[in-house]
Amino acid sequence: MLQSPPVPSRRSPRRPPRWTGRPIVLVGLMGAGKSTVGRRLALRLALPFVDADTEIETAAGMSIPDIFARYGEAYFRDGERRVIQRLIDGRPKVIATGGGAFVNDETRALILSDALAIWLDAPVEVLAERVKRRDTRPLLRGKDPATVLRELAAVRNPLYALAHLRIPSANTPHDMTVRAIMEALSK
């Protein structure tokens, strides 16, 4: 008698899908290097690079901090989902997302089904050091970055772990992270 193969649980280890030219979407906490690594990865792959945050600002006609201040996070996340849906159009490209994009159930489902999701995973200490360099992150305004990032990591890392690939993003040059992604894509 033929039996159906077992259905893997969402938490079970799974072999990442081979990259077949679909959009590559970088996810992870703020400061993980999604934009910087994304630009360099796109150059190495000879693909267009798109920063979802830049596209959101263009679509809204205002900065992300202004969107948060005027309309709140829920409004921003809805616009973010719509922009990412537009960007994942089947054409090969590298897309850097904002740190909270993959937390939205609809956005995450879209990315997982129509793109190759890569989680850039960095220790909180590294992230805190990186984000101190710019005062443009609404979730950090007036707060200790390490505390906020630790709280965000507790909630978001289990969701980021659903990405197809996990690439460590340590306190090393971003080119090392790009090399690690290229190696993972070639397997």
User: Residue ranges for the binding site?
Assistant: 31-36, 53, 77, 99, 137, 156
Binding residues for ATP: 31-36, 137
- Backbone Cα Rg of the chain: 17
- Which residues neighbour 26 within 8 Å (Cβ) at sequence distance 6 or greater? 32, 34, 37, 38, 41, 94, 95, 96, 97, 118, 120
Give the neighbor-by-neighbor strand order of the sheet with 94-96.
49-51, 94-96, 24-27, 116-121, 165-168
Binding residues for substrate: 53, 77, 99, 156
Binding residues for Mg(2+): 35
Helices (H), 14-96: 34-45, 52-60, 64-71, 73-87
